[in-house]
Amino acid sequence: MKYFIALIVIALAGCNPSVTKEEFSPEMYKEHPLSILVLPPINRSTAADAKDYYLTTVAEPLTNTGYYVFPIEIVTDILKQEGLSDTESMVNVPPQKFREFFDADAVLYVSILKWNTSYLITSGSVTVQLECELKSTRTGSTLWYYNDEISVSTTGDNGGAGGWAGLLIQAATTALKTATTDYVPIAKDVNTKLFLAMPFGKYNKEYNLDMKKRIELKKKSTAEVNSSKK
Amino acid sequence: MKTTIKFVSLLVIILFIGCKPETQFFWGNYSKTLYDYKKNPDDKTLAEHKKSLTEIILQSSKKHKPVPPGVYAELGYLTVREGNETEGNEYFKKEMLYYPESKVFIEKLLNELHPGESK
């Protein structure tokens, strides 16, 4: 079974156009940003909690990617004091300003496009879709961007019972599992997956050794962001 | 096609969960306790989050790993806000020592936290 799954994965990975990290984000290897300031995300999903889930789970994968990440809790407080609690207004602040204020090398802008919990009686899942853009505070230009989506099943099990009884048990356990799903690990997983496509920073062992690593090609599409606004 | 992609990404995730690589930094329960604190900010959740920060520092040294970026700063911030300035400042100093790129930011923060104090 495992081999079969692996084969599907390999087969499908082959379908998607891929590029090396260096081809995808050459500026990263020229500028070598060391520190990243993460701005509170723009939440375009329908889940009110999504912002907090994102902000509490981003530091871990991003530091493991190899960057100094300014303490997010403190940064959020400072931005609030400066009257910049609403992210839409922050988009208009030139990235260079964040070098002045924080001495950050780069700024990470994040949009949460989807945070859906779907629940269909006997099966459930959580889908998270994010879009990230890293901008240089020296030049203001984009160093890296990516978008990705993951789905995690919250389908319950049927307790080994078959037929109608099994379906009923499964429906009940699915409802319970979907309601009590711990979203923290899901948010962490989607962040981890995204940052694998980012060139590694100084605190990662593979710093400067990952230029030839192949990642899935993503197109920066503002259209997608706008269409999911609805 | 879309459902196939979803299905496959789910499978990929399942495959990956089985083999977690050793990460650069140890973050313990950070996300969990911080989320709980943000959802219900009270003395209990704050104490839990502070505990998880001190635990990260402790476990990192046991695992011979550097303390992750921002952890000393966040602990310092919480400690100063509780009125314990001397202890908090020690944590801020450690953040600047281990991560010199934080210096400008931490010094500005210290000025805000202790206005009028000259360095």
In chain B, domain spans: 24-113
pLDDT at A51: 87
Say whether A151 and B73 touch across the interface (CB within 8 A).
no
Nearest-Cα residue of chain B relative to residue A182: B32
pLDDT at B65: 96
Confidence label for A12 from pLDDT (cuts 50, 70 and 90)? low
- Please tell me what DSSP assigns to residue B66: P
Residue A28 lies in a domain: yes
Asked if residue A222 has pLDDT above 70, the reply is no
Which domain, by its residues, includes A137? 19-208+222-226
More confident residue, A226 or B76: B76
Q: Which CATH number fits the domain that encloses residue A143?
A: 3.40.50.10610
Could you give the residue ranges of the DSSP H alpha helices within B1-119? 2-17, 30-39, 43-62, 71-81, 85-98, 103-113
pLDDT at A145: 94
Instruction: Give CA torsion, residues B42, B43, B45, B51, to 10 deg.
Output: 160
Instruction: Give CA torsion, residues B113, B116, B118, B119, to 10 deg.
Output: 10
Say whether A73 and B77 touch across the interface (CB within 8 A).
yes
Whether B3 has its CB under 8 Å from any CB of chain A: the answer is no
Determine the length of chain A: 230
- Distance between CA A194 and CA B101 in Å, rounded? 24
Report the pLDDT averaged over residues A1-17: 61
Dmax (CA) of chain A: 65
- SS3 sequence of chain A: CHHHHHHHHHHHHHHCCEEEHHHHCHHHHHHCCCEEEECCCEECCCCCCHHHHHHHHCHHHHHHCCCEECCHHHHHHHHHHCCCCCHHHHCCCCCHHHHHHHCCCEEEEEEEEEEEEEEECCEEEEEEEEEEEEEECCCCCEEEEEEEEEEEECCCCCCCCCHHHHHHHHHHHHHHHHHHCCHHHHHHHHHHHHHCCCCCCCCCCCCCCCCCCEEECCCCCHHHHHHCCC
Asked if residue A120 has pLDDT above 50, the reply is yes
Mean pLDDT in chain A?
A: 82
A117: left (phi over 0), alpha (psi -120 to 50) or beta: beta
Weakest mean pLDDT among A56-65, B55-64, B107-116: B107-116
pLDDT at A184: 81
Cβ-contact A38, A62 below 8 angstroms:
yes
CATH class in words for B24-113? mainly alpha
More confident residue, B7 or A184: A184
pLDDT at A229: 37
More confident residue, A166 or A65: A65
pLDDT at A199: 96
What are the backbone angles phi and psi of residue A113, rounded to the nearest 5°?
Answer: -85, -35
Q: For A123-137, write each residue's pLDDT tens digit.
A: 677 888 899 999 999
Picking from A154, A50, B13, the residue whose alpha carbon sits closest to that of residue B5 is B13
Report the pLDDT averaged over residues B55-64: 96
Nearest-Cα residue of chain A relative to residue B25: A64
- Distance between CA A53 and CA B38 in Å, rounded? 10
Confidence label for B113 from pLDDT (cuts 50, 70 and 90)? confident
How many Cβ atoms from other residues are within 10 Å of residue A152's Cβ? 19
Residue A151 lies in a domain: yes
- Distance between CA B119 and CA B113 in Å, rounded? 13
Which of B35, B66, B105 minimises the CB distance to A184?
B35
Instruction: Give CA torsion, residues B43, B114, B73, A132, to 10 deg.
Output: 100
Whether B62 has its CB under 8 Å from any CB of chain A: the answer is no
Residue A150 lies in a domain: yes
Nearest-Cα residue of chain A relative to residue B78: A74
Residue A4 lies in a domain: no
pLDDT at B86: 94
- Distance between CA A72 and CA A58 in Å, rounded? 9
At B19, is the secondary structure helix, strand, or coil?
Answer: coil
Q: How many domains does chain A have?
A: 1
pTM reported for the whole predicted model: 0.81
Whether B40 has its CB under 8 Å from any CB of chain A: the answer is no
Confidence label for A230 from pLDDT (cuts 50, 70 and 90)? very low
Residue A1 lies in a domain: no
pLDDT at A228: 37
Cβ-contact A68, B102 below 8 angstroms:
yes
Mean pLDDT in chain B?
A: 87
- Distance between CA A147 and CA A221 in Å, rounded? 9
Say whether B11 and A67 touch across the interface (CB within 8 A).
no
Picking from B38, B43, B94, the residue whose alpha carbon sits closest to that of residue B70 is B94
More confident residue, B28 or B18: B28
Confidence label for A3 from pLDDT (cuts 50, 70 and 90)? low
